[in-house]
Amino acid sequence: MKNSIYIYSLLVVLCSCNNSKLPPIAPDVITEFTLNDTDDPAIWVHPEDASKSIVFGTDKETNGAIYAFDLEGKIIENKTIKNIQRPNNVDVEYGFRLNDSTTTDILVFTEREKQQIRMFSVPDMKPLDGGGFPVFEDEELLENRLPMGVSLYKSPKDSSIYAIVGRKTGPTDDYLYQYVLSMDSLGVTAKLVRKFGSFSGKKEIEAIAVDDEAGYVYYSDEGVCIKKYYAEPAMGNEELSCFGGEYFLEDIEGIAIATYKNGEGAIIVSNQQKGEFNVFSRTDNTFVKAINLGTLETDGCEVVTVPLNSTFKSGLFVAMNDEKNFYFYDLERLGLQ
């Protein structure tokens, strides 16, 4: 009862601070606070007991961290990665091959101040990267080597896992670099396989999300539109679409892709300054609706469409909130189906 009163009171405050005129949907869970500045979440679904799934979230500062939360929003201290120099975005992928008989799930995040990405095993949280993989190494300007966004893609062709990395600023072409992650006799490597992606130059590109099954990568050119490309390197670097810009107040931010077995689904994108999320069709990218989840200035968001526990019976949507925390919602309450 106390938690319900707290959430209701918080929503009353939040509704007076954003620009949405839509009725707010209260979160089911609000996480404990991080130390500095939350930014982007990722969700790892436990393969044997979904109630033990973990939500990871970046805390963006020089003394930053990747916080691990249980489904009640409590910090899991022994799975939190600390002393990370300005982590921005984070993602998870399943079934990274360590050898012929062993696989592990992985967590990858950007570490901006060290111009690198990091890679850890999940759920044991062991580093697999020898301290980090440098990115954008061929860029002469330091400001073009500062990674922000990252999303992982697992190819249905051969199960290769790729990290698609964006940056704080960059050129009008080849803004994103794509690295294949693989294990050899010397350990895990990250090899650059392509550069792609246009940039308007108006604001920045941070949010990146990949639809593994459909084979598309989406990213937010924040002042313009959501851009769509093939995720498979062999499919080429043609821009497939630039959509949705007219539905945003200012910045186009975090992207989450809800996928269902029937091929349907939704692309959920943060309309940051309006305090809303815009929902687009996964099949044809047309606008469906806007929803108000009561968050402030949301950067990153993430979603899974499988039942996790009695609270998240239809899946979980996680949104960053600009008060050093994250909001969790039972997916059914977003009304996507």
pLDDT category, 17, cuts 50, 70, 90? low
288-325 tens-digit pLDDT: 999 999 999 999 999 999 999 999 999 999 999 999 99
Q: What is the pLDDT of residue 300?
A: 97
Confidence of residue 254 (pLDDT cuts 50, 70, 90): very high
pTM: 0.94
What is the edge-to-edge ordering of all strands in the sheet holding 265-271? 252-259, 265-271, 276-281, 287-291
Portion of the chain with pLDDT greater than 90, in percent: 91
In angstroms, the Cα distances linking 123 to 56, 103, 192 are 11, 12, 27
β-bridge partners, 265: 259
Phi, psi of 52 (to 5 degrees): -100, 15
- Please tell me the predicted confidence (pLDDT) of residue 1: 42
Q: In whole angstroms, what is the distance from residue 194 CA to residue 235 CA?
A: 11
Task: Report how far residue 141's alpha carbon sits from residue 170's, in angstroms, rounded to the nearest whole number.
Answer: 9
At 2 the pLDDT is 41
Q: 3-class SS at 11?
A: helix
Q: What would the two tokens of residue 288 be?
A: 């469906």
* More reliable by pLDDT, 14 or 317: 317
110: helix, coil or strand?
A: strand
Report which of 121, 139, 137, 141 is spatially closest to residue 129, judged by C-alpha positions.
Answer: 121
Helices first, then strands: H and E counts in the chain: 1, 24
Mean pLDDT of the chain: 94
Provide the pLDDT confidence category of residue 13 given band limits of 50, 70 and 90. very low
> Residue 120 and residue 99: Cα distance in Å, rounded?
16
pLDDT digits (tens, 9 = 90+) for 199-229: 999 999 999 999 999 999 999 999 999 999 9
Could you read off the pLDDT of 127-149 as tens digits, one per residue? 999 999 999 999 999 999 999 99
- For 59-110, the pLDDT digits (tens) are 999 999 999 999 999 999 999 999 999 999 999 999 999 998 999 999 999 9
What pLDDT is recorded for position 185? 86
User: Structure tokens of 166?
Assistant: 């964006």
In the DSSP assignment, the letter for residue 217 is E
Residues of the chain above pLDDT 70, percent = 95
Q: Which residues of 36-65 are buried (b: 16+ CB within 10 A; e: fewer)?
A: bbbbbbbbbbeeeebeebbbbbbbbbeebb
